[in-house]
Amino acid sequence: MFETEKTMWKKKGFYVSVCTALVCLLAIGTVYYRMNKTPERPQWSSVLESQSPSPDKDQQVSQSSDESIKEKAALASQTPTVKSKNQTAKKSSAPVKKSNGATKKKSADQKTSASKKNSQKASSDEAAAANATVRNQKTTHFAFQEEQGLAWPVKGKVLMKFSINNTVYFKTLEQYRCNPALIIGAKEGTKVKAAADGEVLSVSKEDETGVTVAMNIGNEYTLTYGQLKGVSLKEGDEVKKGDVIGKIATPTTFYTEEGSNLYFKVQQADQAVDPLLLLD
């Protein structure tokens, strides 16, 4: 019996030792498995070292900031050089501006010369008008009076009446125009007589009125006779009322449809007047 119990205890110790060994092996295997298969977690010390800036990195950052400051200073120091280059470019372009200035000066000179010519022309026109006024006023012994009236220079039908405010139809021109004169029909060769005493201001040839005689009769009145021929008068000649001053000519191209006629115009101080108001 004693041997049997002893044998049983031996068997129990064997089993216990075997279980203990198995448990140890299982624990060792588990630890080994975890060490080999489970990824290693970073140590907190290494993580903190990686996150915290090192003294070397601070030095590098300070060095880079110093270098950027130095670069800005270098750029600032180079700015005057750029300005000087721009100034050099401006100086190099100065001759071009000078040439442009010369061109402008030339055009200005041309404009000045043109304006001078225009002013000279205007002054000459003013001088001519002044001379005409002087001619109108120099003959003091002619003093036409409205009560005296004017004699008819030719006897004939009035083809076109005076019309300065309204237009009248011109057959030859086929248009309506103002008529500052009296168009008196007369046969070619009919003698034209002076309507009043006066002095010849001019004898000219015009496109519209042909050979034309202008005469000063005093008191700023001027008579104009057109469509004439055979005129022997000249500027400065004095004419008495009723004297022959010329003959009716072939009508100009402005009056071919109207036929031969006398163009008779009356002006007072350069203002056209209806001749029918003064003709006897």
Average pLDDT estimate for 43-70: 49
More confident residue, 196 or 100: 196
Q: How far apart are CA 118 and CA 114, in angstroms?
A: 6
pLDDT over 90 (residue 204): yes
pLDDT at 48: 44
CB 251, CB 260: distance < 8 Å = yes
- Is residue 221 within 8 A of residue 266, CB to CB? The reply is yes
Q: What pLDDT, on the 0 to 100 scale, is given for residue 6?
A: 61
Give, in degrees to the nearest 5, the angle at Cα 238 between 232 and 241: 95
- Better-predicted residue by pLDDT, 102 or 21: 21
Q: Which of 17-21, 98-102, 233-237 has the lowest mean pLDDT?
A: 98-102
Which residues are paired to 167 by β-bridges?
178
170 or 119, which is more confident? 170
* Contact by Cβ (8 Å): 204, 212: yes
Rounded to the nearest 5 percent, the helix, strand and coil shares of the chain are 45, 25, 30
A 10 A CB-CB count for 5 gives 9
Flag whether pLDDT at 82 surpasses 50.
no
Q: Find all residues with CB under 8 Å of 7, minimum gap 6, and list them.
A: none
Q: What's the pLDDT score for residue 89?
A: 42
Q: Which two tokens stand for residue 63?
A: 């060095």
Mean pLDDT, residues 57-79: 52
By CB neighbour count within 10 A (0-12 exposed, 13-18 middle, 19+ buried), where does 244 fall? middle
Residue (of 233, 270, 232, 226) closest to 250 by Cα position: 226
Please answer whether residues 142 and 218 qualify as being in contact, where contact means their C-beta atoms are separated by less than 8 angstroms.
yes
Report the residue count for the chain: 280
Handedness of CA 81, 85, 87, 91 (dihedral sign): positive
- Mind listing the pLDDT tens digit for each residue in 118-142? 555 555 555 555 555 545 445 457 9
Kindly tell me if the per-residue pLDDT of 81 is higher than 50. no
Average pLDDT over residues 139-150: 83
Cut 0.85: pTM above it: no
Token pair 């022309």 is found at 121
Instruction: Enumerate residues 6+ apart whose C-beta is below 8 A from 95.
Output: none
Is the predicted pLDDT of residue 16 greater than 90, yes or no? Answer: no
Query: Which DSSP string corresponds to 187-212?
Result: -TT-EEE-SS-EEEEEEEEETTTEEE
Task: Please give the structure tokens belonging to residue 178.
Answer: 């103002």
Q: Which tens digit of pLDDT belongs to each residue from 212-231?
A: 999 999 999 999 999 999 99
Please work out, in degrees rounded to the nearest 5, the angle formed at the alpha carbon of residue 189 by the alpha carbons of 264 and 233. Answer: 60
Residue 159 CA to chain centroid, in angstroms? 49
Mean residue pLDDT of the chain comes to 76
Weakest-pLDDT range from 33-42, 140-149, 260-269: 33-42
pLDDT at 26: 83
**Is the confidence at residue 93, as pLDDT, over 50?**
no
Q: What tokens were used for 28?
A: 């060792």
126: left (phi over 0), alpha (psi -120 to 50) or beta: alpha
- pLDDT on residue 45: 45
**What is residue 125's predicted lDDT score, i.e. its pLDDT?**
56
pLDDT band at 50 (very low <50, low <70, confident <90, very high): very low
Are 258 and 175 contacting, i.e. CB atoms less than 8 angstroms apart? Answer: no
Give percent above pLDDT 90 in the chain. 47
Residue 265: pLDDT over 50: yes
**Of 18-27, 75-84, 232-241, 263-272, where does mean pLDDT reach its minimum?**
75-84
Per-residue pLDDT at 244 exceeds 90? yes
